Amino acid sequence: MKSLLIASSNPGKLREFQSILQDLGVNLVLPADIGVSLQVEEDGADYYQNALKKAVTYCQASGLITLADDSGLEVDALGGAPGLHSARYSPKPGANDGDRRTYLLSQLAQHPQPWPAHFHCSLVLALPDGDHYTFDGDCPGEIVSEERGEHGFGYDPIFRMAGRDKTMAQLPEEEKNRISHRGRATLAALPTLKKLLEKEMK
C-alpha cells in the first residue's frame, strides 16, 4: 500500500486527516513512524509559506508524497489575531490548548460581543519530483465566552460555527472533520491526491 506522510506531530490533525482519507487506500504515516525527526521553523509570512516549507522539507527527507498544513484562528475584534501565532498564543511558558483559550478570552473581554472569527487552513501536497499543489479551506463562525464540548482540540471548545448552535468541540468528530477549515481544504485536495497516487502505482 502506498504511504502518504503527514508532516505533523499533532494527533488531533492526524485524526482529522484519517477520517477524511480513510477510503483512499493509502497508509497515512507520521514522521516518527518512519524515523524522520526534523524541526521546521514556521517563519513564513503567511499560512501557505509555512505549509509549503513543512511539506517540502519532510518530502525531501522521506521521499514520500507529503501533506502539510498551516492553520490559524483569526478574530475580527483582535485585528486578525492570533492568526499565524495561534499555536503559540499565550505568554505562559509551556502553554497548552487550555491556556491559549483562556488567554484569548481574556483579550476579548474588553470587546463587546459578538466576536466574529474564522479558521483558515492552507494545505500543501509536496511530491518527490519537486512539484507541489496548494489548497485552502475556511470556516466562519464566532468565539463564545464559555467552553463547550469534549471533542476536537485547540480552540474548538470556544468556536461556534456559522449556522450551528454548537461549538466545533460539540460536533461529532466525523461531522466536524467534513466541514472544518482543514476538512474543507483536504476534501478539495482529494481528487488531486487520488490522481497522484494512481499515477505512482502504475
Q: With DSSP H G I counted as helix, E B as strand and the rest as coil, what are the percentages for the chain, rounded to 5? A: 45, 25, 35
76 is catalytic: no
pLDDT at 17: 87
Is the distance from CB of 118 to CB of 83 less than 8 angstroms?
no
Task: State the average pLDDT over residues 92-111.
Answer: 96
Query: Which helix or strand (DSSP H or E) is residue 116 part of?
Result: strand 115-126
CATH classification of the domain holding 185: 3.90.950.10
Q: Kindly name the residue from 33, 46, 70, 97 that is annotated as catalytic.
A: 70
Q: How confident is the model at residue 167 (pLDDT cuts 50, 70, 90)?
A: very high
Residues 6+ apart with CB under 8 A from 6: 13, 14, 17, 28, 29, 30, 66, 67, 68
Total domains, the chain: 1
Task: State the average pLDDT over residues 67-83.
Answer: 97
pTM reported for the whole predicted model: 0.90
Q: Which domain holds residue 106?
A: 3-201
Task: State the average pLDDT over residues 187-196.
Answer: 90
- Report helix, strand or coil for 47: helix
Task: State the average pLDDT over residues 144-162.
Answer: 94
